[in-house]
Chains A and B, each alone.
Chain A
Amino acid sequence: MLEETLWEFVQSHGKFHGSVYAAGITGATPLLSYSEEVGRGIMDTNFWGYVHFMQLLSRKKYSHNGSSHVAVASVAAQTGEAGNFAYSASKAAMVTAARSFAKELHRRKCRVNTVSPGFVKTALTEGYFEERGFSEKTVERHLLGLGEAENVSGIISFLLSGRAEWITGTDFAVDGGYSVS
């Protein structure tokens, strides 16, 4: 299905110069009571979805040489948020996979990076806060406050651009100071 959509796009507009994998879901997975289905669902969308997406995008018929690919991971990959192992693990898996892909795709001068945001005010994190309760502590740990979507989109656009043509296999944390506080 995804492949058909990509192929249609390529046929009418030409090959891709890059991609952003920002699809992701979350859900509570406390060790004692997590649902296998919820946990696997998170891993499927966040990690496996990214892997299959990149497999398609890395093919010559879909992407130009020198194309740039960015995936949205999360600071949770570093911090391992409580009650959230599946989400944290799925994001850590993406960061590591991106490093592997960087080593496989550099021959075509293609670049692969991830961006790890802190808590950005989106529908996804609102749902997270509703489900788990709003923690003042989490907010405070963002030294510069909670983020806005454009705090993340800026650096992603930069990574897609030619100014980042020597940047590959790395993860950029964009988190208002969350991971250092």
Chain B
Amino acid sequence: MGYRKFAILLVVTEHKNMSQEVSFTFKEKNYIVTGASSGIGRQIALELAKAGGRVLAVGRDSGRLEKTMSYFPSQIIPAKTDVRDYQAMESYIGAFTKKFGKVNGAVHAAGSLYITPLRKYQEEEARELMDVSFWSGIKLIQLASKKVYAAPESSYVLISSVCAHKGEAAQFALNAAKASLQVSARTLAKELYRQRSRINTISPGLILTGLTEHDFDERGISESVKEKHLLGLGQVEDVSGLTLYLLSDRARWITGQDFVVDGGYLVSD
């Protein structure tokens, strides 16, 4: 118990002061979160658990996944797999629902990042990006919304990106994958509403996560990109808050939409 309290304290102090004005309750609710070993996905898994929910946390890095789990060992169930392994995904979901009941929603936060300039992009990298970011997201929703696994009135959130709106240079694969998620969400909203389920996307601006930090190191982050984020670069909890809102019952009339969370990036010149 002492260990657990300490762990929870860590979650809170590891990140910047999180506003206490909004609190969520996800007691007895089950969610699937991909990309849960780091970044945005990890933060969403932790906050869902903190709010009383149970999370099937899908990730590739078992070490980091275990660490995420250690904060809420009875609520975060690790699923170590590549999201492109659909068979493994379904067997994890099957086992999870068998043990805990049907799932109330899913979040696709898994993504991979490659620079893909038209003249010299690697076919393999571009296809991997499309597979992880886009196809696995669609598969996740297909699986999670199957009648055998899904509770009615479920909510699904796909993490897209402002780059889908903007079309950043040398990133056609990422832009395309993220845009595909948005238009698919609009499409799937029209199929999922029959079970009163909802699907939305969130388009974050530049967030400081492991993925983007690595990317900055490689390319050196330009001052102009930073400046275009009028409120500065983002933190993972800037995205997780809205994600939890969209998963919650308060958002029960929201479907088929994209939500830009970008510190003002898209409106800046």
Task: Name A's B-contacting residues (CB within 8 A).
Answer: 99, 102-103, 106, 109, 111, 118, 143-145, 147-148, 150-151, 154-155, 157-158, 161-170, 172-177, 179-181
Contact A179 B231 (CB under 8 A): no
**Distance A168 CA – B266 CA, assembled complex (angstroms):** 10
Report the separation of the CA atoms of residues A157 and B254 in the bound assembly, to the nearest whole angstrom.
Answer: 15
CB of A162 within 8 A of CB of B21, answer yes
Contact B231 A111 (CB under 8 A): yes
- Residue pair A161, B264 in contact (C-beta under 8 Å): no
Which of B18, B253, B257, B268 interacts with A151 by CB under 8 Å? B253
Least CB separation from A150: chain B residue: B250
- Chain A interface, >50% SS class: mixed
Pick the contact of A177 from B19, B190, B235 — CB < 8 Å?
B190
Contact B260 A180 (CB under 8 A): no
User: Is A166 touching B261 in the complex (CB atoms < 8 A)?
Assistant: yes
Taking A102-B264, A166-B231 as contacts, is the C-beta distance between A161 and B19 under 8 angstroms?
Answer: yes
Interface centre among A109, A157, A177 (most CB of B within 10 A): A177
Residue on A with the closest CB to B183? A180
**Could you give 9 example pairs across A and B, Cβ below 8 Å?**
A147-B253, A151-B254, A163-B241, A166-B235, A166-B261, A166-B262, A170-B260, A175-B257, A181-B256
A144 near B234 with CB under 8 A, answer: no
CB distance A168 to B231 under 8 Å?
yes
Interface-central residue, A170, A175, A179, by most chain B CB under 10 Å:
A170
| Residues of A with C-beta under 8 A to B161 | none
Do residues A164 and B193 form an inter-chain contact, with CB atoms below 8 A?
Answer: no
CA distance A175 to B254 in the complex (A): 6
Do the beta carbons of A109 and B231 come within 8 Å of each other?
yes
Task: Establish whether residues B231 and A106, one from each chain, have CB atoms under 8 Å apart when the complex forms.
Answer: yes
Question: Given the known A-B contacts A166-B235, A181-B190, are A154 and B264 also in contact in the complex, defined by CB atoms under 8 Å?
Answer: no
Given contacts A168-B263, A169-B264, contact A163 B254 (CB under 8 A): no
A143 touches B189 (CB 8 A): yes
On whether the beta carbons of A177 and B230 are closer than 8 Å, the reply is no
Is the CB–CB distance between A180 and B256 below 8 Å? yes
In contact, B231 and A165 (Cβ under 8 angstroms)? yes
Which residues on A sit within 8 Å (CB–CB) of B205? Answer: 166
- Residue in B20, B251, B267, B268 whose Cβ sees the most chain A Cβ within 10 Å: B267
Tell me whether A148 and B190 are in contact in the complex, defined as CB-CB below 8 angstroms, given that A161-B22, A166-B235, A172-B259 are known contacts.
no
- B268, closest chain A residue (CB): A103
Residues of B within 8 A of A175 (CB): 253-254, 257
